[in-house]
Amino acid sequence: MRCINSIRALLSSACYLLSLNFLKSSVLSLFEILEKTGLCSQITFGRYVRQGRKLGLDPKLFIQDLQFNKVPVRVYQPKATSDGPRRGILFFHGGGWVFGSLDTYEKVCRYLSRESDSVVVSVQYRLAPEHKYPAAYEDCLNATLHFLQHLQHYGVDPARVTVCGDSAGGNLAAAVSQTLAGSSDLPRLRAQILIYPGLQALDFNLPSYQQNRGVPLLFRERAAFFALLYLNGDALHMKEVLEGSHIPPDMRLKYRKWVSPDNIPEEFKVRGVKPLRPTDFIAEVYETVKRFCEPNLCPLLAEDSVVHQLPESFILTCEYDVLRDDGLLYKKRLEDNGVPVTWYHLKDGFHGIISLYDYCGFSFPSGKRGLDSVVNFLKSL
């Protein structure tokens, strides 16, 4: 029976993926038409279709739109009385640093607050390409610092504050967690929750990038496109970055101990991985993207002296996701440095599945399981 149920789940996800692939291809075609006719840009249209909407009152939550250090935030506080201070969660939304808003993740944040009985602060960081790196990181850090300095006002336990994010938001949560790891004048973060995070831009040919290159909701080319928009405000040299010509050989050798298919468990290579011919390094390209080697942009590249100070971690990965191996590689780095890691892998999941919780009245079963795994981890803290 368990085998039959697993097959049903996989077939269900496959049907969903085919539908999403058709929908995404149609939307991308519409993007191109609108941009070529001058009606609007791909980014403007993409933001429009992903903007979400602010919901009405919630009988179980107090919800406020505020500013923390001039950064817009939305604070969710349970109405029910509590025996003591609650957990606090800083939530950083996904969207490739380009899309997403407080409204986009309204249902996810309400669910996290209600189900885990936590105060959730959703952060509206500045978006690329208008605001390049490190704008998004700085906004998330500044909002986190403000919250940590005012926990008592929100009834939050200083010993139970967590940073959480999905996709690009997972990247930002990891970067903020690393920055605060050695801080002695603020409450120490209790945990970091990284939901299919993007953590490096050195190698877009890891097994998961090859296996899932055309799987929605994040194609391999779009992963590089978003990283370049965040870094430079444009997607120049995307071809060279995808091929791997943007990193000097000595630097690639230095980081190979952390960013390598050799560190991916064999079970994740069974769907086929092709050994790739090394590409020639192009110095001019490196000069435009060398900040990819900064841990605040690519947290997987942080030194061991930082990583071993990180708090307990939760990492969620999806089998059908180009970013799967980013999460697996960071899991290994954390464990190698003695950091406790809870890992949850959605075998029938794909990138962005958590953000589709209760989307247009339906949820993917796999996404609901993933979201509940986050809630269960929070309750354990």
Please tell me which residue in 351, 355, 366, 373 is annotated as part of the active site: 351
In this structure, are 185 and 144 located in the same domain? yes
Is 325 among the catalytic positions?
no
Please tell me which residue in 157, 321, 326, 348 is annotated as part of the active site: 321
Whether residue 125 lies inside any domain: the answer is: yes
In this structure, are 301 and 193 located in the same domain? yes
Whether residue 320 lies inside any domain: the answer is: yes
265 burial level (CB within 10 Å; 0-12, 13-18, 19+): exposed
In this structure, are 41 and 155 located in the same domain? no
In this structure, are 86 and 30 located in the same domain? no
Whether residue 228 lies inside any domain: the answer is: no
In this structure, are 71 and 144 located in the same domain? yes
Count how many domains the chain has: 2
CA distance 265 to 24: 31
Q: Alpha helices of the chain — where are they, by DSSP H?
A: 2-36, 42-49, 106-116, 135-149, 168-180, 207-211, 220-232, 238-243, 249-255, 283-289, 304-307, 324-336, 365-380
Please tell me which residue in 101, 113, 116, 167 is annotated as part of the active site: 167
Per-residue pLDDT of the chain (381 residues), as tens digits, is 444 444 444 444 445 555 455 444 555 555 556 556 665 678 888 787 777 777 889 999 999 999 999 999 999 999 999 999 999 999 999 999 999 999 999 999 999 999 999 999 999 999 999 999 999 999 999 999 999 999 999 999 999 999 999 999 999 999 999 999 988 899 999 999 999 999 999 999 999 999 999 999 999 999 999 999 999 999 999 999 999 999 999 999 999 999 999 999 999 999 988 888 878 999 999 999 999 999 999 999 999 999 999 999 999 999 999 999 999 999 999 999 999 999 999 999 999 999 999 887 777 899 999 999 999 999 999
Q: Which two tokens stand for residue 224?
A: 């590089």
CB 98 within 8 A of CB 126: no
Q: Which domain holds residue 196?
A: 60-200+292-380
284 burial level (CB within 10 Å; 0-12, 13-18, 19+): exposed
Strands 86-92 and 118-123 come out as parallel
Whether residue 268 lies inside any domain: the answer is: no
Indicate which CATH number applies to the domain containing 298. Answer: 3.40.50.1820
Whether residue 243 lies inside any domain: the answer is: no
Whether residue 92 lies inside any domain: the answer is: yes
In this structure, are 132 and 107 located in the same domain? yes
Is 321 among the catalytic positions?
yes
In this structure, are 16 and 88 located in the same domain? no
In this structure, are 365 and 338 located in the same domain? yes
CA distance 227 to 167: 12
Is 150 among the catalytic positions?
no
